[in-house]
Structure 1
Amino acid sequence: MPEFFSFISEMLWGSLMLYLLLAAGIWFVFRSKFIPFRLIGDFYQNLKSSRTQSGGLTSSQALFLSLAGRMGTGNVAGVALAIAAGGPGAIFWMWVSAIVSMVISFAECTLAQLYKERDASQQFRGGPAWYMARGLGMRWMGVLFSLFLLLTYGLLFNTIQANSVARAVHYAWNIPEWYTGLFLAGMLLLLITRGLKDIARFMQWVVPVMAFAWVAMSIGIGIDNITHFPAMLAGIVKSAFGWQEAASGAMGYTLSQALTSGFQRSMYSNEAGLGSTPNAAAAAASWPPHPAAQGFVQMVGVVVDTFLICTASAFILLLADNNQTDNAVKGIEIVQQAMVSLTGQWGASFVAVIIFMFAFNSIATNYVYAENNLIFLRINNKRNRRLLRVGIVVMIFIGSQLRIPLLWHITDVIMAFMAITNLTAILLLSPVLSIVAADYLRQRKLGVIPVFNASRYPEINRQLSPGAWDSATEKPVNNRNY
């Protein structure tokens, strides 16, 4: 059975997902008339203008919540796997994939903002399931996506996070894995029972600190090994195009492996196209009040995740010249060995702390996404929330002690189905995205605050939740600010 799911996973992630991701990214670049890149600087103004509004997170809270979900063990151990499978060239294709993923993230998060609605407590809710139901009129598709997300992010994906944490802590301090599993589960229960806004506030403070610590460590190591940098960068480029292997006739295979590994790990890490981060984006009361504004903010999450966090991990591994690993279990230990060789024995402890916090934040955010889809399925009662929390605790405890290849292969397959469902939906909704992006650009050219007036687009307005986007008058603003 594990071999069967492994075969299906390799087929989906090794070819179909790669081409689908690339095609979707290129399609949205043209459909949006390059607006995500032309106006990428707007993210700063939109983030700076972020303010607390009734029923919504601020843009910065939504950004750090989504970053917490992205910044899991894949940013560290996953990079080791990419390099092992595709060589240093996988990092180059990871960067290329991130550029494509930025546009996809803009598309899915803009649509999530557009089709958001208020729950029973007047909190904004939304995500792929909502734009499938409202935008496409296919609630069945939204139900299918929600079930995929509940299985992967609510339960299965957490076993991988817990296993990496338990391995890292055991390697650093020789603490039994089940101790780590119990501690991680207990800490998470204290946080996830607090509610969406408290979790978002926590992430707003913790995520920047952890990201800064990991990137700063990488920069410090880079400065200490500055003489090796040119050779390392040259190795990345040569390996990316198979130039190093061309003489032996292995160029085609090596190029394919590097490209596949880079794209796969990039999508695993930044999650663009999977449909997870739109759940956070929809919870924001975006300012300026326009769906595209949150799209620009969430695009930056891909930049931070891939170009900063994953790149920091890659540089540590490549500068240590110790990046050979063959499975997910050993991935984090290889990173710790690399850190020890570069900094000394304390490096293993530093990685253990970082990976614990990355996984802790990621699992907490996974719970937020899962609970959000309980609301869409209309089963968000106290009993089901308790069942979800118990399920998370059980999966963390199992994952911290055991490596179950079947569970992990099943997770890969379901995540692929989840991504295919989401990418299909946003491709079908690309005409709507084009209208919303053009509306944002029109107002920017007029020098006014971009405000989404749904009454200008009757066909879209009929699909929206009442009260989510009230008609507003465009207000002038100083051109120096917009």
Structure 2
Amino acid sequence: MSDFLSTVNSYVWSNALVYLCLAAGVYFSIRTRFVQVRQIPEMIRLMFQGEKSPSGVSSFQALTMSLAGRVGTGNIAGVATAIAFGGPGALFWMWAVAFLGASTSFVECTLGQIYKTRDPLTGEYRGGPAYYLSRALAHTKASKAFKVYGLVFAAVTVLACGLLLPSVQSNSMAIAMNEAWGVSTWVVAVATVIVLAFVIIGGVKRIAAFASIVVPFMAVVYIVLALIIVLMNASEVPGIIGTIFASAFGLDSAFGAIVGSAIMWGVKRGIYSNEAGQGTGPHAAAAAEVSHPAKQGLVQAFAVYVDTLFVCTATGFLILSTGAYRVFEGESEDGSVLAEGGNLPADVAVGPTFVQTGFDTLWSGAGSTFVAISLAFFCLTTIIAYYYMAETNLRFLLGKASTLYIRPLRSTLGSNLTLILQALILVSVVMGAVSTATEAWTLGDIGVGLMAWLNIVGIIILQQPAFKALRDFERQKKAGVDPTFDPHALDITGATFWENYDPLEVKREAAART
């Protein structure tokens, strides 16, 4: 089975996908006139604007829901893996895919907002690639083909977020806790299931409330402590930066033979971590209560920077500055060692232990505990975000049938299948916690890759509404008004939610609820 999964993964994550992600980022950067640079002040301002409503969450809550999915084991174990198999140069390619991917994230998340809808069961906003793939071309000859495309994406997302991806998070969490405290992986699995069950059964609002508290706090604490350690080794930083750039382009003799691996692992782990183009960000973006889709598109673009340029960079510099790394040839721990920092025990496996060793240089013996706690929070919030995305796509697959009442069960079809999905994701968490890291990461990579293929091809075809929304937003800002969205004026079809949207009614609903 392991050999079969590795073969599937090699096809999914071929060079074609790597260069497609980079090319899409370049293209969207040019088409948006590098919105990821021009609009940084607006991104920061919009993060803290907007209020939640009975149907939607605030922009900040949507951002933290998105970061809950982005900031996870990819920022710790993922960075360690990228450096181990791609060399220090992999960190440069993570930066590159983050910079370019911010424009991709803007496009996909703006589309997510444009084509969102209300859940017939809960009244909460739902949206994502499945929704814009099936609605954007609803009035064209290609409508039937894209409805099928949307259904395929939804099915793949339910499989990836409900079964494949959660196992990676629980696996890293279990490994870190076992390393720190000797806790059995089964104990970690059971404890995680109990906490997850409490949060995910509470619905979108409880997920948003949980993420808005946990994610910012843990991200800030993690970054600050990592930077303290990097500053303690400040003399190493110039050399590290030089090594990163030299090995990224094959100019360093020690890493010249693995420059292709640097690109592959940098892009692969970069996308796994920041999720730009993967199609996960639009789900959280669609849940936000905003007056114009471009607003949340900008906020979600900034989330890519937070994830990779802040958290992943902190991890990478921590590992390299403390010498807690080892680089292998052939993208396997069985390959010969090309370089090592000299601060790792000989028998340490690639993964969170690299980071734990780095943190130990600040306070001997405390590194393992801190990383285990960090991973516990990061991975937990990521699994919760995965559940939300899987549930959203399950709702899409069911459509109006989700409200179908089943008399013998005294509940709706949507409610029953939601319970099954909740059980499935909890089983995935248990299986991931007790399986090997290699198997868990292979399954996760397959899930990420399949979603990325489908989503990037889709947004390249459906890009125009996002560009129209950006131009409309900037025009209204230049005129000095708070931008509002009218799809009819922009000749955007299929945006049924916005065709009947009344911001005053939203405010009245919020006031009445208060």
TM-score (norm 1): 0.92
Instruction: Give the direction of change, closer, same or farther, for the CA distance of 1:466–1:71 in structure 2 (3 Å limit).
Output: closer
State the AA in 2 paired with 1:27: Y
State the AA in 2 paired with 1:123: E
Q: CA deviation at 1:324?
A: 2.1
Contact 1:35-1:441 within 8 A present in 2 as well: no
Please tell me whether residue 416 in structure 1 is matched to residue 410 in structure 2: no
Contact 1:292-1:437 within 8 A present in 2 as well: yes
Q: Measure the CA separation in 1 of the matches of 2:46 and 2:499.
A: 19
State the AA in 2 paired with 1:258: A
Q: Measure the CA separation in 1 of the matches of 2:115 and 2:204.
A: 19
- Aligned residue for 2:376? 356
State the AA in 1 paired with 2:357: Q
State the AA in 2 paired with 1:76: I
- Aligned residue for 1:457? 490
- Aligned residue for 1:307? 309
Tell me the alpha carbon deviations over residues 173-192 of structure 1, each in whole angstroms, 9 at most, x when there is no partner. 11111011110111111111
Contact 1:163-1:329 within 8 A present in 2 as well: no
Please tell me whether residue 130 in structure 1 is matched to residue 131 in structure 2: yes
Instruction: Give the direction of change, closer, same or farther, for the CA distance of 1:36–1:335 in structure 2 (3 Å limit).
Output: closer
State the AA in 2 paired with 1:431: Q
- Aligned residue for 2:89? 89
Q: Measure the CA separation in 2 of the matches of 1:404 and 1:39.
A: 39
- Aligned residue for 1:339? 359
Contact 1:320-1:342 within 8 A present in 2 as well: no
Contact 1:133-1:141 within 8 A present in 2 as well: yes
1:21-170 mapped onto 2 (5 Å cutoff): 21-120=21-120, 121-136=122-137, 137=143, 138-170=146-178
Q: CA deviation at 1:341?
A: 4.0
Q: 1:139 aligns to what SS in structure 2?
A: helix
State the AA in 1 paired with 2:322: A
Please tell me whether residue 441 in structure 1 is matched to residue 474 in structure 2: yes
Please tell me whether residue 196 in structure 1 is matched to residue 196 in structure 2: no
Q: Measure the CA separation in 2 of the matches of 1:382 and 1:472.
A: 30
Instruction: Give the direction of change, closer, same or farther, for the CA distance of 1:84–1:141 in structure 2 (3 Å limit).
Output: same
| Alignment equivalent of 2:259, drawn from 255, 258, 272 | 255
Q: Measure the CA separation in 2 of the matches of 1:218 and 1:171.
A: 20
State the AA in 1 paired with 2:305: V
- Aligned residue for 2:323? 321
Tell me the alpha carbon deviations over residues 298-324 of structure 1, each in whole angstroms, 9 at most, x when there is no partner. 011101100111111111111121212
Contact 2:165-2:447 within 8 A present in 1 as well: no
State the AA in 2 paired with 1:336: Q
- Aligned residue for 1:480? none
- Structure 1 residue runs without a partner (length 5+): 474-482
- Aligned residue for 2:509? none
RMSD: 2.0
Tell me the alpha carbon deviations over residues 251-289 of structure 1, each in whole angstroms, 9 at most, x when there is no partner. 3x3322212211111001001111011100001011xx1
State the AA in 2 paired with 1:44: I
Q: 2:13 aligns to what SS in structure 1?
A: helix
- Aligned residue for 1:176? 184
Instruction: Give the direction of change, closer, same or farther, for the CA distance of 1:35–1:393 in structure 2 (3 Å limit).
Output: closer
State the AA in 1 paired with 2:127: G
- Aligned residue for 1:270? 274
Instruction: Give the direction of change, closer, same or farther, for the CA distance of 1:472–1:62 in structure 2 (3 Å limit).
Output: closer
State the AA in 2 paired with 1:113: Q
Contact 1:118-1:468 within 8 A present in 2 as well: no
Contact 1:452-1:471 within 8 A present in 2 as well: no
Contact 1:317-1:338 within 8 A present in 2 as well: yes
Instruction: Give the direction of change, closer, same or farther, for the CA distance of 1:230–1:195 in structure 2 (3 Å limit).
Output: same
- Structure 2 residue runs without a partner (length 5+): 138-142, 334-347, 403-412, 505-514
Contact 2:72-2:379 within 8 A present in 1 as well: yes
Q: Measure the CA separation in 2 of the matches of 1:21 and 1:454.
A: 29
- Aligned residue for 2:221? 213
Instruction: Give the direction of change, closer, same or farther, for the CA distance of 1:35–1:411 in structure 2 (3 Å limit).
Output: closer
Contact 1:452-1:472 within 8 A present in 2 as well: no
Instruction: Give the direction of change, closer, same or farther, for the CA distance of 1:29–1:349 in structure 2 (3 Å limit).
Output: same
Tell me the alpha carbon deviations over residues 68-96 of structure 1, each in whole angstroms, 9 at most, x when there is no partner. 11111111000001001111111111111
Contact 1:453-1:469 within 8 A present in 2 as well: no
- Aligned residue for 1:223? 231
Question: Comparing 449-458 with 138-147, which one deviates more in the overlay?
Answer: 449-458
Q: CA deviation at 1:53?
A: 2.6
Q: 1:454 aligns to what SS in structure 2?
A: coil
- Aligned residue for 1:476? none
